[in-house]
Structure 1
Amino acid sequence: MKKAEYFSKDFDWDELRVEVENDPSFRYHLVPFQHSLSVAEEKEEAESQPWNEFHHRHASGKFFKERRYLLQEFPELVSCEGNSRVLEVGCGNGSTVLPILRGNEKVTVYACDCSTEALERVKETIYASNLVSIEHRFHTFCCDFSTSGFPTWLNGNPNQANGKQTSDSRGKNESNLNDSHSLKESRCYIGGVDFITLIFTLSALSLQRMPKSIKECFSVMKPGGLLLFRDYGLYDMSMLRFETDKRVGFREYMRSDGTHSYFFCLDTVRNLFTGAGFIEIELEYCCVKSVNRRNGKSMRRVWVHGKFQKPV
């Protein structure tokens, strides 16, 4: 596989911040947001439906690109010990899972998503790639970690080793395993995961639901394990394109298709993860400038890159 070229410091974020905060046309992004109940909270019960429709709409074509640069950003996924387990939260169509499986033939990946449509897409993508021994190292399950939490077999509940069902709220996730190759392992707890990849997933939640979601990640990770984070950063081009009627909270927006997007500053990310018990290893803005080939316009993208470790 050809090594992807990737640059993360094409411009200075502080310079972008000054430019945005002094531009009157962007002022509505900066003012406090007053509400009693956000649109995101009201739609909590039906959160998976917009994403089902989103993945169905983009089932064909080249809307998604394989994120090969992730192996450069997170080389631990390549250099880790054999038999390491990776949990990809919010796997979508597989643009993150595929480069991981290609880059390290010794890892096992558990991929989950709240959208059943996304899970169908990711399985099509992975099994069409003809990767070595894929049936033994790739497993999917349906899960909304922000509401019901992860299934008990993932974080090492010994009841699952004997094939017993649990009575807590997570037990219902046991029946959600939709990959036939996962069924055998679903009845044996795996004792936690070595890595969690949270790539453009957390921003799909309302801010109120993020602390609980990150604590769920902490609970299923082995001591010393790494959570690898990448998501939308404050003043990213896509944030500045939202019109004022799309705001559903401070730095929170609702797209026309019903999907949610939050834009992170470093302090928010730091507080969320350290508040859940993680240790900060790396945290910075990735500032990438790209050019639209159709109109020649330059686009400034801002993402947040982070690595967080569960204490040993």
Structure 2
Amino acid sequence: MAQKLDMAPLTRANDQPAASTSTSPPPSSSSAPAFDSTSTPTSAPKKARKPRIVLEGTTDEILARNNKAAEPRFVDKLFSTAGKQWNQFYKHHAATPFFKDRHWTLREWPQLAALGNAAAGHDADELGDSTSGSRAKGKGKAVLEVGCGTGAFIYPLLEQYPSARFVAFDFAKKAVELTLSNANHDPVHCHIFQHDLTAPRAVLDGKLAQPPPEFGEPVLEFDFVSAVFVLSALDPAKQAKAMQTLVSLLAPGGSLLFRDYALHDAAQLRFHSLPSASYAANPSLLSDSLPLYRRGDNTLTYFFTADDVRTLVDGAVEAVNAERRSEGRNVVVLEGGVEVVEREMQNRAEQWGCTRRFVHGSWRRVR
């Protein structure tokens, strides 16, 4: 369920200005100019902009505001209708410039350059794993994007590395339709389908085993597995099982690429800065103990610490290895790590800025 970053206009008191990254015009005045019926206007009056939300105070002070959690019954309904909400999300934004290709992935994960290597399977052969035959010989390296959204991750990579093979799925049916309708879609190199990451692994295996005829042999393990802004959209109770699935999909030598929202990100602080009267009936905060929220469109988002993600990955490796030991197979060993990164977003023209915080990590299966 990948989506564009929440770039809502925010500013923090005492922020220092940085170079502008936007060419947006300055905000219009709070009221439209008077209209003279005897004259011919050159353009329609501009609609007044909504006031900017200012994040004043320390992080603790901001989080102490508007911190009443929604009723459990309301939260349960949000979980049960998540598919509907995400479909509406993609339908609403399909005809707008909302979705943008992720050209930043190679900068953030330089290891993706390995997609330019001629043949797949050499890592598996070097590590002596018998599952290397699950990938077609002579084909490019295989990438799985979980929560593909509109294909913003895979298509820029396919353009740069045309020999690579891409498998992708999303929870939302509309997202899959948009990915398949992309002008860059090529069934020779792409296997795209709808799937719920929290479903049993056997369900996913069945779908992986049925690629389009042009795709050739199915891919069951991957050189790269990406989960970008995916786990934050899940029920927290299902995040551990989802991470287990991600780890289990790595081929020997394969890398897990992870990025999601971090605790105290500007988007989280914004929820606590909205007028409490607007959320008196059904607050944005969905838990008294977890940083789980609903957006205005009723999609959900969670904010992680680096330790949260580290614990999820370590637990997933333990669960995967318990199954492999019971089957008499070699255990999985991952090397890598996760950290919180910050990005300063500024717009001098509109006089706003904010600090975005993300948990960013990668792990390589070394055995």
- Is contact 1:281-1:309 (8 Å) kept? yes
Q: 2:351 pairs with 265, 278, 296, which one?
A: 296
Aligned length: 263
Change (3 A) 1:233 1:145: same
In the alignment, the residues of structure 2 paired with residue 305 and residue 104 of structure 1 have an alpha-carbon distance, to the nearest angstrom, of 23
Q: 2:337 pairs with 270, 275, 282, which one?
A: 282
Change (3 A) 1:280 1:28: farther
TM superposition outliers: structure 1 runs of 4+ over 6 Å:
33-36
Amino acid of the structure 2 residue aligned with 1:301:
R
Once the two structures are superposed, what CA deviation does each residue of 1:199-230 show, in whole Å capped at 9, x if it has no partner? 11111012111000011112222133111001
Pair 1:255 & 2:295 matched? yes
- Is contact 1:236-1:303 (8 Å) kept? yes
Once the two structures are superposed, what CA deviation does each residue of 1:102-140 show, in whole Å capped at 9, x if it has no partner? 232221111100111001111222xx24x7xx3311120
Partner SS for 1:68:
coil
Pair 1:57 & 2:92 matched? yes
TM-score, normalised by the number of residues in structure 2? 0.65
Partner of 2:262: 233
Amino acid of the structure 1 residue aligned with 2:309:
V
In the alignment, the residues of structure 2 paired with residue 295 and residue 184 of structure 1 have an alpha-carbon distance, to the nearest angstrom, of 51
Q: 2:160 pairs with 98, 103, 112, which one?
A: 103
Q: 2:284 pairs with 240, 243, 246, which one?
A: 246
Change (3 A) 1:293 1:101: farther
Change (3 A) 1:115 1:70: same
Structure with more contact order per residue of length (Cα contacts < 8 Å, sep ≥ 6): 2
In the alignment, the residues of structure 2 paired with residue 298 and residue 191 of structure 1 have an alpha-carbon distance, to the nearest angstrom, of 43
In the alignment, the residues of structure 2 paired with residue 79 and residue 187 of structure 1 have an alpha-carbon distance, to the nearest angstrom, of 22
1:143-182 correspondence to structure 2 within 5 Å: 143-149=195-201, 151-153=204-206, 182=211
In the alignment, the residues of structure 2 paired with residue 247 and residue 280 of structure 1 have an alpha-carbon distance, to the nearest angstrom, of 35
Pair 1:137 & 2:189 matched? yes
Partner of 1:193: 222
In the alignment, the residues of structure 2 paired with residue 228 and residue 64 of structure 1 have an alpha-carbon distance, to the nearest angstrom, of 20
In the alignment, the residues of structure 1 paired with residue 364 and residue 214 of structure 2 have an alpha-carbon distance, to the nearest angstrom, of 26
In the alignment, the residues of structure 2 paired with residue 302 and residue 290 of structure 1 have an alpha-carbon distance, to the nearest angstrom, of 11
Question: How many Å apart are 1:310 and its aligned residue?
Answer: 3.2
Structure 1 residue runs of 5 or longer lacking an equivalent are: 1-18, 161-173, 175-181
Question: How many Å apart are 1:73 and its aligned residue?
Answer: 0.9
Change (3 A) 1:219 1:274: same
- Is contact 1:198-1:229 (8 Å) kept? yes
Amino acid of the structure 1 residue aligned with 2:365:
K
Partner of 1:93: 150
In the alignment, the residues of structure 1 paired with residue 252 and residue 75 of structure 2 have an alpha-carbon distance, to the nearest angstrom, of 33
Partner of 1:178: none
In the alignment, the residues of structure 2 paired with residue 84 and residue 78 of structure 1 have an alpha-carbon distance, to the nearest angstrom, of 11
User: Which 10-residue stretch deviates more, 285-294 or 260-269?
Assistant: 285-294
Q: 2:106 pairs with 71, 75, 83, which one?
A: 71
Once the two structures are superposed, what CA deviation does each residue of 1:67-93 show, in whole Å capped at 9, x if it has no partner? 111111112222243311111000001
Q: 1:208 pairs with 237, 262, 265, which one?
A: 237
User: Which 10-residue stretch deviates more, 41-50 or 91-100?
Assistant: 41-50
For the pair shown, the structure with the greater C-alpha radius of gyration is 2
In the alignment, the residues of structure 1 paired with residue 160 and residue 206 of structure 2 have an alpha-carbon distance, to the nearest angstrom, of 26
Once the two structures are superposed, what CA deviation does each residue of 1:236-264 show, in whole Å capped at 9, x if it has no partner? 11111114721112111011212100011
Tell me the percent identity.
29
- Is contact 1:85-1:193 (8 Å) kept? yes
Partner SS for 2:188:
helix
Question: How many Å apart are 1:190 and its aligned residue?
Answer: 2.5
